[in-house]
Amino acid sequence: MTRTCLVYHPIYLQHETNGHPEKKERLTAILDKIQSERLDVDFVTPKFATVSSVAAIHSLRYIDQVKAICEHGGGYLDVDTVLSKSSYDAALMAAGGAMAAVEAVLGEYGSAFALVRPPGHHAMPNRGMGFCIFNNIAIAAKHAQSLGAKKVLIVDWDVHHGNGTNDAFYSDSSVLYFSTHQYPHYPGTGRADEVGEDGGEGFTVNVPLPSGTGDAGYLMAYREILRPIAMEYKPDIVLVSAGQDPHKDDPLGGMRLTTDGFGAIAFQVKEIANACCRGRLAASLEGGYNLQAQAEAVVSEIRAFGGESAQIRGTDTDAARRIEEVKKIQSRYWSCFA
């Protein structure tokens, strides 16, 4: 299980958004970069997610609402989230792509990256928001569990907090959600003291990083918070909400990650998967709105999943303070911080 596969379907380009930042050129730029770099990867074609699979996260009423809007030519789920006539099918295939990535790493592949759109991590059970229709990574987590993975780790490095994924598993100890995100920033959630509730308390780990955090601060969060918690949790599979909008050149974020920085944190996550679950790592595309920067970051991540590491040096005192705050909060739940 050493090869990496990419999951893709051309229907993703039929989610028309008419000049919106979340546009089809995001995917074509990635595909062009992968081709020009001649990456040694396989392509896997996904299938549509079934309504019952999507309903593991979303209400049937909401699913029907999305379908009806698309059948009538399109519209808006909120001020940011546009639907075209083909968006329902594209969203089902995006969820199906994340599910196919899970199947790939539970099978013959060591890593998988679902190059999907629309993205998903903001989508709530009863509504879409933040460019997201169905929550692809949450649906994939449920699918992984249906295939025998008892404990799932979701890592989200998008610049925006994945409020939909956070809420989907907030009281569920069988899914550990870890997020690094710019804070304060859209959607306004993801404080360090948002740790889960009831039986899931302690299984949500939010790391709200200050604007301007770069490679050193991010790597510190992954080494000092994610790695020890993950080694204690021992997941059966690792899923990644891979958003490239923390890149220093992204127009919708205020972070300072470089292409090498994305590779470094991706390598950390792959090392966790290697140590805990035979390398099983499935990523799904989220945000990223500078076409060149996003494409370069994705290629860096794919290479990291294959074992290439980047050297990051330096310190970040502002990020370090936030990280220590998170450790203090999480020490109530994880012996690695006791």
Residues with catalytic function: 122
Backbone dihedral angles phi then psi of residue 214, each to the nearest 5 degrees: -115, -155
Outline where the chain has alpha helix (H). 25-37, 51-54, 60-71, 87-105, 136-146, 163-168, 215-221, 227-233, 259-277, 291-305, 317-330
Cα 175–308–269 angle (5° rounding)? 15
Work out the burial of residue 126: count CB atoms within 10 Å of its CB; fewer than 13 is exposed, 13-18 middle, 19 or more buried. exposed
Going 116 to 118 to 124 to 127, the CA torsion angle's sign is negative
Which DSSP category does 247 fall into?
A: B
Dist CA 157 CA 161 (whole Å): 8
254 close to 210: Cβ distance less than 8 angstroms: no
Is residue 181 a contact partner of residue 192, using CB atoms and an 8 Å limit? Answer: no
CB distance 53 to 99 below 8 Å: yes
Residue located via tokens 């040096």? 313
Residue 159, φ and ψ in degrees, nearest 5: -65, -25
- 220 Cβ contact list (under 8 Å, min separation 6): 316, 319, 320, 323
The pair of three-digit structure tokens given for residue 253, joined into one six-digit string:
């974020």
Residue 186: closest CA among 220, 212, 213, 211: 211
CA dist 67 and 179 (Å) reads 30
